[in-house]
Amino acid sequence: MLVAIVVALLMMVVVPVLAATAPAAEAARCATPKGVYTGPVPWAQNLLDPARLASLSNGSGVLVAVLGTGVDPGNAQFSAGQVLPEIDLLANGPAAPDCDGQGTFAAGIVAARTSPATSFAGLAPGARILPVRYASTSQPAGGGDPNLLATAINRAVAASAGVILIMVPATVDSNALQLAVQNANAAGDVVISPAVGSQPDATSYPTATPGVIGVGALGQTGLPVQQEAGDYIAIGAPAANLVGTSAGARGQLGQVWPVTAPAYAAAYVAGAVALLRSYRPDLDPDQLSTRLILTATHPHGAGHDPRLGWGGLDAYAAVSADLPANAVAPTIGSTDRTVPQPAAQAGPSSTNAGVIGLFVLLGLVLIGIVVVVLTILRRGRARD
């Protein structure tokens, strides 16, 4: 009896203590900043040059949904209210807003504000971020849940996100995921998803789904850094030796570097699309995708690369280029990426040519008639 009483007392004291310390212990294992990055402007940022883009667009008025591990708003490179309240689809989510840190890093690539304390900044600092957490880790065992990811996409659409960035793609497809992409496209939303497979025959979803901008990852030399390959990959973007915002900054500045992960290539494309949506709000998802493809750079030759798509992202050209109204992206299997010219139309020159030809013919007939009449008249006078 005495033993039972002692055990009961211990349970009353120990269990609450363990319950209270569990979140703290979990938080202690979560992402934290390496420090404040004060080195040269990161190569990926130099490549895409957000400072040059600032005179055209900063992404204002665009909401970018980041689907994955969540986003920690407590980094000073996000302004107050820039990161919206999180949509959490996990029944038992982690204690921290983004324990893994992937979503916060990606959100910084998209929209981190400039700061005199660091040379790192995002592509579209005027954009807002909507975190949608559907995975507790950026590398879930067996890949992300396609049906839960479908729910995340639908929630982003319902929240009026113009750009939907998938950071944790699934390794298998589902009808629900396909329908969610169709729903997003019908709503006018651009869905962007990375190719993250570690094998050439791997397939990421919805990266391979029609209606999604599939993104390959490139390093500083312009070579791919992921193994997954396919004709569904539309464009490549930086994903190696990156600098980005860190979760766990507790209201201060904080970055982590160098980071290499193929998924971050999609974040750069999402930032570029946010700039495009702000600068050219009349373009639909297909037109936006076409712009990205037709303005991409080809550091290693023309044509489609199964790991980098139609070339490397050129954000400035995508935003500023004056493309024909009927421009279309190249078809799968094509090696021609030439920007199409406007369709030929019957102009004044072709019409005038026909009219002139008709008048010439009539003139010749009239001349012939006059010659015949004059000949008859001369013969008549000769008889007289």
Q: What is the pLDDT of residue 267?
A: 98
* Residue 14 identity: V
In the numeric block, the tokens 């495009």 are attached to: 276
Q: What is the pLDDT of residue 158?
A: 98
Tokens in use for 119?
């040379």
Which of 103, 129, 125 shows the shortest CA–CA distance to 115? 125
Tokens in use for 250?
């507790």
Query: What is the C-alpha separation between 216 and 308, in angstroms, rounded?
Result: 5
Q: What is the pLDDT of residue 352?
A: 42
Tokens in use for 109?
């690539």
Residue ranges of domains in the chain, CATH in brackets: 29-320 (3.40.50.200)
Sheet holding 87-88, edge to edge: 87-88, 128-133, 63-68, 163-166, 190-194, 212-218, 233-238
Which of 1, 2, 323, 349 shows the shortest CA–CA distance to 314? 323
pLDDT means over runs of 10, the chain (384 residues): 42 39 57 98 96 96 98 98 97 83 98 98 98 96 94 98 98 98 98 96 97 97 95 97 98 98 98 98 95 87 89 97 87 48 34 41 53 52 49
| Nearby residues of 157 by Cβ (< 8 Å), 6 or more positions away | 164, 180, 183, 184, 187, 189
Q: What is the pLDDT of residue 133?
A: 97
Terminal Cα distance for the chain, rounded = 160
Q: What is the pLDDT of residue 259?
A: 98
